[in-house]
Amino acid sequence: MNPAALRRVLHNPGFWLGMLTLGVLLAAYNTGEVSLYQFGVLLVATLVAGYWLPSRNIRGVSVSRQLPEESHEGDEIEVTLRLRARGFFARYMLQIRDLMPFLDQPDYPVLIARLSGTQQFRYRIRCERRGVHTIGPLVVRSEFPLALLSVSTRLDDSLTEMRVLPSTFPISGMPLSGRGGFPTDSHQIGPVSRGQDSFAGVREYRRGDSMRHIHWRASARRGEWIVREYEQIENVELIVVLDAQPEANVGRGRESCFEYAVRIAASLAQFAIDNGHRVGVFCLQPSGARWLAPDSGWHHYRHLLEYLSEVEADCRLPYLQAVEQAAALAGRQGRLLLFHTVETPGDMPATPLPSQRIDQRPMQVLFDAGSFRHPPGTDPDRRSGPIGDSLYWVQSGANLSEVFGR
């Protein structure tokens, strides 16, 4: 028996009443005292009533649950319980317990003071953890009226699934470099995903040049055909590489490095896709490498959120291996987004040259391990924010909108 179960038994008054009953019956047997036998029978009757009455109270009770199939981390959802009690008698003091893994207290209890016929109960809860969660089963429990013994029944047909997508934070603007070092931030973005054309100068006409590019004024002045020359600026392919090593995931729950990395990835992906860039995600998992190829558009962002709702920090393979594999899959305009958990900025591991095909330097996020280990732990000498070219320092509790919006 595990310690938690042992504590529940020791705190149950029915257990101690049963021990007392056993002691009284043993004393009556040894001494032959009629009064002890009578007292023992009374205690036995009390135990029987303490079990039978709660069993009768939950008999014929059915429960169904309605909740959204999907939500976002941090959002409130409404849960509807539909209860029905068969028979003529009302039920009292019912406990409906539901296993909801997305809550800080997964075993969520609801107390029904009186149930007669069919009734509905609504309540609101907040989704605390992203993921694809199995909800249930519902458990109907009663201790009414003596509160000596708890009797319960599991409703195994009440199992359902719910997806909680990661939360995001707004980003006002972030420079993402395209070919030739031209910025393609929120104010300078191409009309389509491939990028934009920037005017570079003029030159003499060459056979095959489009007539649309002729510079008429310059041609008239020089007396020969002059065309405008453009340099294409291709938008970046942002490749997010998540570090799923358990030892790199310092902290607990939402205040852990991996959860911060997922929120940062979802938010930067939203900003990049809104501004015409393509975004992909790579993460090593125990089942193998999970790769979402770069793409753009709302539907791709939707797939990306579903991807991020499923990954967990439970892979023992080195992060460097994930970086190398992601770099091999990236295109020439790919730009890696890397995550590191370190004690100080000087502890950042050396970033290898991922691929000769990649033009752009990686963006890197450094998580302050000390602040996640002992929150809030803010070091006044190293506050969250950019600390170099494409390098960001993030502490537990930081305002991520300010960190990545500077």
What confidence tens digit (pLDDT) does each residue in 39-89 have? Answer: 999 999 999 999 999 999 999 999 999 999 999 999 999 999 999 999 889
Q: What pLDDT score was predicted for residue 381?
A: 54
Inform me whether the pLDDT recorded for 355 exceeds 60: no
Whole-angstrom distance, CA of residue 311 vs CA of residue 285: 7
Q: What pLDDT score was predicted for residue 175?
A: 65
Buried b (16+ CB within 10 A) or exposed e, 292-302: bebbbeeebbe
Q: What pLDDT score was predicted for residue 184?
A: 42
Q: Is residue 165 a contact partner of residue 309, using CB atoms and an 8 Å limit?
A: yes
Residues of the chain with CATH 2.60.40.10: 59-165
Phi, psi of 122 (to 5 degrees): -120, 140
* pLDDT tens, position by position, 78-132: 999 999 999 889 999 999 999 999 998 888 899 999 999 999 999 999 999 999 9
Q: What pLDDT score was predicted for residue 90?
A: 94
What is the CATH architecture assignment of 237-403?
3-Layer(aba) Sandwich (3.40)
Please give the structure tokens belonging to residue 310.
């499923």
Whole-angstrom distance, CA of residue 214 vs CA of residue 226: 6
Which strand ranges, in their side-by-side order, compose the sheet holding 131-135? 70-72, 160-165, 131-135
Q: What pLDDT score was predicted for residue 334?
A: 85
Inform me whether the pLDDT recorded for 196 exceeds 70: no
Q: What pLDDT score was predicted for residue 387?
A: 84
DSSP 394: E
Closest CA to 165 of 135, 211, 129, 137: 129
Q: What is the mean pLDDT of residues 5-27?
A: 85
Whole-angstrom distance, CA of residue 269 vs CA of residue 75: 20
> Using 50, 70 and 90 to split pLDDT, how confident is the model at 377?
low
Q: What is the mean pLDDT of residues 141-149?
A: 92
* pLDDT tens, position by position, 229-259: 755 455 678 999 999 999 999 999 899 999 9
Whole-angstrom distance, CA of residue 317 vs CA of residue 324: 12
Q: What pLDDT score was predicted for residue 357?
A: 57
Whole-angstrom distance, CA of residue 290 vs CA of residue 267: 20
According to DSSP, the residues that pair with 155 across neighbouring strands are: 138
> Using 50, 70 and 90 to split pLDDT, how confident is the model at 6?
confident
Inform me whether the pLDDT recorded for 362 exceeds 50: yes
Higher-pLDDT residue of 249 and 222 is 249
Higher-pLDDT residue of 52 and 176 is 52
Inform me whether the pLDDT recorded for 9 exceeds 90: no
Task: Give 287-292 contacts, CB < 8 A, sequence gap 24+.
Answer: 289/322, 289/325, 291/326, 291/329
> Using 50, 70 and 90 to split pLDDT, how confident is the model at 300?
very high
- Residue 289, judged by CB atoms within 10 A of its CB (0-12, 13-18, 19+), counts as middle
Inform me whether the pLDDT recorded for 287 exceeds 80: yes
* pTM greater than 0.85: no
Inform me whether the pLDDT recorded for 392 exceeds 70: yes
Closest CA to 154 of 171, 130, 136: 136
Percent of the chain with pLDDT over 70: 87
Q: What pLDDT score was predicted for residue 191?
A: 35
Tell me the CA distances in angstroms from 382 to 92, 266, 269, 397, one per residue in order: 58, 25, 26, 14
Q: What pLDDT score was predicted for residue 179?
A: 44
The pLDDT mean for the chain works out to 86
CATH fold of 59-165: Immunoglobulin-like (2.60.40)
Instruction: For tokens 């499923």, name the residue.
Output: 310
- E strand spans, 249-320: 251-252, 255-256, 278-285, 288-295
Residues of the chain with CATH 3.40.50.410: 237-403
Inform me whether the pLDDT recorded for 1 exceeds 70: no
